A and B are shown apart, each in its own frame.
Chain A
């Protein structure tokens, strides 16, 4: 891991401004001397999102002169990696398999350099309750939560457990699968009578549910990339949405208005950047991550979750942050891939 570094400029610490980062002198100029295998698809609920992310990243890398091949995660994958021998693998798998660390285990086994967090850290970050505990240990704020496996309801009775939940947290609460992304299976519950439905919808995605106290405020996402000086936050992206930031809002352009950089006071912008970098470090993430936060009315950020494999689609937040930072997307993606190459060999 790169060592922690202090904040850079007083105006916006941990924010990469254009011109602050340069191409490393040893990195090859644009040309097809770097080959990257982009892995996308898989069999998770987020296959569609992953395919979109994969196509976008492949396109950007090609524009930066990288020799790119896209491949699904299937029985041919290891043979494909053996025969094509890419310099770097960029897994863009969302959901189970992609973010839970298992594919990364296999890549480690195969000895291929890859973009992103290692298997153990992936597994921890992917499991929301574990990740939230680590965030708290690192001094970050995250909404109060409870983890409720399905069996618990069987043993104690659904109504009793749900009543206890409401008694403790009040309403509204947010129900989400303990694992998974893209807001799949997530419901914001305003009324006690809607809680049971939300639990059933959530358990359809997995056997364990996370119930969080809902936090109101400004929704922002802060992407973090590793730079030669350590993890660095890109400008926060603010999400203003009609209704909830659900799957429909995420992947159909229009319902959401994004502000990049977010409309935050300078000190708040500094705080969310600092927190995102702290989350990236606390969870031992590598190369890139995205931390989703709510800035409460008093200006204090609270971390909702941290993404090991942030979405890279046309409507995703990470690429918007890259553009807001003044980076050229292809060049930045290429530099991330190059970083993966060097971080393994080191």
Chain B
């Protein structure tokens, strides 16, 4: 059992005006007792009549963000306001109000409510620094709805400067001992609201256990690399060029690597780029982040395929973009639909900032934009003045043919190209790149420096060494063959075990996009898959608007063909049981009602 608090001593120290932290110190030094300040506060509350110490009064801005709808402050203010207007209080309001008043009465204080000013004076309590809570008159009269944007209180109403919303703003209910367990909950930017762990994401936690066949992740098969050769090269690199490799580098990236990158993109027809046009990034994910940062203001429209890469949707969401999905079919993005989407958005007064597209071996849809459509997409975007962000991590991983020319190969002004070593070499180095028109590139370099100063020199030089000393073309070829074999295993197993579903047969990349039998809901079914020791990503992860529950993404990049077949076998039993259930209850796949939360496996899971 825990150490006994010396009640008399603690009571005496409290009466002498010593604060909980000071008492903790005192007990540690003089009595050899370890307790928490919280324990002292609780002791004070429960076993003494010593009032809490009051911190300096602070003006806490009344905040009407949706997440504050139930905060103690708001409840207390609304309750006071309603009572002052002679309106009836709900049970919860009355209860909360009585509690606030009782707590304060016990501390010998009263609330000073001045409806004319719209103020509520709440005496501070230890650790809470609550002073005056105020609210703009407008929000007093109605409850905010979740869609209402955050408003800032009028500064003129403040007698003292308002803090930007520190712990006091939301940590604790007025007068109660309530806590939201996150003192900064009221401080987060609106863009952080969707950054929550979801039930679906939690279910992926089992996916890295060896018992589970994960068809969920996008991890390349690193065991396929000549690790011994790479190891020796890296050792040599640090031994001979360590003073550079371990130092800061250039914000734009290592020049030698940028030259090497041009050799790679030449395989996809980009022959007019200069090393100066290349910005090296920490994975192409950072490139995507930078591009979005420099182009997108909150509310701007980003066009993306339906479905689209989950990681891109997360970036767009974090910059508060509005994503408009554009349908794709077996030949990729549908040009007519693209044009319609642009025109519609513009005529609705929206600003369309760019088209984000994955032209090759799409993630998750597995399809490739045909050569003919590439020209049309370029033409439409050019005509409407819409920039194209071409995300191309899989372009060199085609199984049956040479790479198609990149969109960037036809247009050096209208296309920003994102490339990556993560799928063709090793994601652990976190190296990707952007090829952009000169003015865009200047901004990207500055934006990148402000976020990371410079990409990792050690990683860049390791990759340069790899490209210079290893047969990287041969490695890509080996990967292509390996992934083709795995694709065959997956497609074969699907035909054998899951004839009730439908899917495309990708001719490159990592993914098969499976449409479930009618009525099945991939999100709802995931727990059953976890029970059966197989994992996939529900289609809803790839839509901005909660659609996609009738699809799932299966990846064939990481498990061996044998494991893939076993995984699909397990999946078939999951689908069949779920189909029975759905027939029984007559339910349908339903949109995700809150698509903002993270629903994809974390990067280290596959």
Name A residues whose Cβ lies closer than 8 Å to a Cβ of B. 17-19, 21-24, 30, 41, 43-49, 51, 72, 74, 150, 153-154, 158, 184-185, 196-197, 199-201, 203-206, 227-228, 240-242, 246-248, 251-261, 263, 297, 314-315, 323-329, 331-332, 335
Contacts and interface: CB of A to CB of B under 8 A. Distances in A.
Given A257-B72, A325-B42, A47 B206 contact: yes
Interface stretch (B112-120, B197-205, B424-432): B197-205
Contacts of B72: 257
Given A22-B3, A257-B178, A328-B35, A247 B42 contact: no
A256 B180 contact: yes
Interface string B14-58: 000000000000000000001110110011001100000000000
B581 A150 contact: yes
17 contacts: A18-B46, A18-B47, A19-B4, A21-B4, A43-B533, A45-B531, A47-B209, A150-B581, A196-B586, A200-B524, A205-B527, A205-B531, A257-B179, A263-B99, A326-B42, A326-B46, A331-B34
Contacts of B178: 240, 257-259
A104 B71 CA distance: 42
B196 A248 contact: yes
B493 interface: no
B36 A328 contact: yes
B598 to A, nearest CB: 10
Contacts of B181: 253-254, 256, 258, 314-315
A257 B173 contact: yes
B416 interface: no
A27 B228 CA distance: 53
Given A227-B1, A332-B1, A201 B36 contact: no
Contacts of A51: 205
B176 interface: yes
A121 B197 CA distance: 32
Contact of B4 (A22, A30, A240, A242): A22
Contact of A154 (B42, B179, B584): B584
B177 interface: yes
Interface string B510-527: 000000000001001111
Given A18-B47, A43-B533, A205-B527, A248 B597 contact: yes
Contact of B180 (A24, A200, A254, A327): A254
Interface in B228-243: none
B469 interface: no
A45 B5 CA distance: 41
B561 to A, nearest CB: 24
A196 B39 contact: no
B2 interface: yes
Given A228-B1, A242-B70, A201 B524 contact: yes
B581 A252 contact: no
B185 A200 contact: no
Contacts, number: 181
Closest 7 CB pairs of A and B: A253-B182, A331-B2, A48-B205, A21-B1, A196-B585, A48-B202, A247-B199
Given A204-B578, A248-B199, A251-B197, A335 B36 contact: no
B530 interface: yes
B1 A49 contact: no
Interface string B442-471: 000000000000000000000000000000
B527 A19 contact: no
B39 A23 contact: no
A45 B527 CA distance: 7
B336 interface: no
B39 A327 contact: yes
B297 interface: no
Secondary structure at chain A's binding surface: helix, strand, loop or mixed? Answer: loop
B180 A331 contact: no
Contact of A204 (B1, B176, B206, B524): B524
Interface of B: 1-7, 34-36, 38-39, 42-43, 46-47, 67, 69-72, 91, 95-96, 99, 173, 176-182, 185, 196-199, 201-203, 205-206, 209, 211-212, 521, 524-528, 530-531, 533, 578, 581-582, 584-587, 590, 597
B180 A328 contact: no
A248 B180 CA distance: 13
B202 A200 contact: no
A23 B99 contact: no
Contacts of B199: 184, 246-248
A46 B211 CA distance: 16
Contacts of B39: 18, 323, 326-328
Contact of A328 (B2, B201, B212, B525): B2
A330 to B, nearest CB: 8
Contacts of B47: 17-19
A247 B527 CA distance: 14
A23 B35 CA distance: 13
A43 B212 contact: yes
Nearest to A335: B1
B176 A263 contact: yes
Given A45-B527, A332-B2, A252 B196 contact: yes
A17 B4 CA distance: 10
Contact of B197 (A150, A153, A252): A252
B402 to A, nearest CB: 44
A204 B525 contact: yes
Contact of B2 (A23, A150, A259, A263): A23
B95 to A, nearest CB: 7
Nearest to A323: B38
B296 to A, nearest CB: 26
B176 to A, nearest CB: 6
B585 A328 contact: no
Contacts of B96: 263
B127 to A, nearest CB: 13
A203 B581 contact: yes
Contacts of B586: 158, 196
Among B6, B95, B182, B590, the one with the most A-chain Cβ atoms within 10 Å of its Cβ is: B182
Contacts of A251: 197, 202
A328 B1 contact: no
Nearest to A241: B70
B3 A197 contact: no
A33 to B, nearest CB: 17
A24 B1 contact: yes
B501 to A, nearest CB: 17
Contacts of A22: 1, 3-4
Nearest to B173: A257
B3 A331 contact: yes
Nearest to B71: A257
A18 B23 CA distance: 15
B182 A254 contact: yes
A21 B67 contact: no
Contacts of A297: 91
A309 B125 CA distance: 35
Among B2, B6, B584, the one with the most A-chain Cβ atoms within 10 Å of its Cβ is: B2
Contacts of B197: 48, 251-252
Contacts of A328: 2-3, 34-36, 39
A49 B586 CA distance: 32
B526 A204 contact: yes
Nearest to A63: B34
Nearest to B103: A263
B112 to A, nearest CB: 23
Nearest to B182: A253
Contacts of A154: 584
Contacts of A201: 524
A49 B527 CA distance: 15
B214 to A, nearest CB: 13
A326 B6 CA distance: 12
B179 A258 contact: yes
